[in-house]
Amino acid sequence: MVTTSISGTAAAAGAEPAHPLEKAARGIRAGRPRPHRAPETAVSGARLLLSGLGIDLEGESLRRTPERMAAALAELLTPRPFELTTFPNDGGYDELIVARGIPMRSLCEHHMLPFVGTAHIGYLPGERILGLSKLARVLEHFSHRPQVQERLTTQVAGWLQEQLEPAGVGVVIEAEHLCMTLRGVQAPGTTTITSSLLGTLRDDGRSHAEFLALTYRR
């Protein structure tokens, strides 16, 4: 059994002081989310933003809205650490493994509005296989940061490729972007599909077709 820890921005930051959101995430153990408290600077920022937009924060209902708004954003932007556990592929399983219809949500980094949809993630195993729930956890991990759908798709695929070294990886995400459907062009119901195919899922015609058939089947 091989276990790899993934802890997002903290790992990337190395010895540098923890990011405020990482501090906020302390005390949240993998698999057991706790309510978030945002740093005071984020609460003041939310208050300033809302006041600047002409919103009166004096009433009882809105008085604590800046705290709640900052805490909600902190929760959406803080990846939960988790451990990726892989197992030897003792049975020599060499067919596609696909998790279909995984719910996804993230924040578009251009507007800080949600994009919400489903993902299909699959791989063709090499020497090792992965706990099935971990496919969803990898997606969740990379979703909890300011994102664009294209990058989220390639990050999930690239990370699985690197950690699992499978024969191939495929990720398809279909999502509705609220910045597009609630404002701007206001095209409700429009979804955006992105895909990232690596290894044999990209290069081998049969695997490629099989993956797409499995993921696009309704």
Binding site for Zn ion (CB under 5 A): 108, 110-111, 179
Asked if 149 is an active-site residue, the reply is yes
Would you say 108 is a known binding-site residue? yes
Closest CA to 19 of 99, 78, 84: 78
State the Cα–Cα distance between residues 37 and 145, nearest whole angstrom. Answer: 16
Is 36 marked as a binding-site residue?
no
108 is catalytic: yes
Helices (H), the chain: 9-13, 20-25, 40-52, 65-77, 133-143, 149-164, 178-181, 200-203, 205-216
Q: How far is the CB of 112 from Zn ion (least distance, A)?
A: 8
Q: Please pick, among 141, 144, 177, 210, the residue that the annotation labels catalytic.
A: 177
179 belongs to the catalytic site: yes
In the residue annotation, 111 being an active-site residue is answered as yes
Q: Is 141 assigned to a binding site? A: no
Q: How far apart are CA 136 and CA 173, in angstroms?
A: 12
For the bound state, the minimum distance from the C-beta of residue 111 to Zn ion, rounded and expressed in Å, comes to: 4
Q: Which residues neighbour 4 within 8 Å (Cβ) at sequence distance 6 or greater?
A: 83, 84, 86, 163
Which residue, 6 or 108, is less far from Zn ion as judged by CB?
Answer: 108
Shortest distance, CB of residue 178 to Zn ion, whole angstroms?
8
Q: Which of 111, 163, 165, 208 is catalytic?
A: 111
Per the annotation, binding residues for Zn(2+) are 108, 111, 179
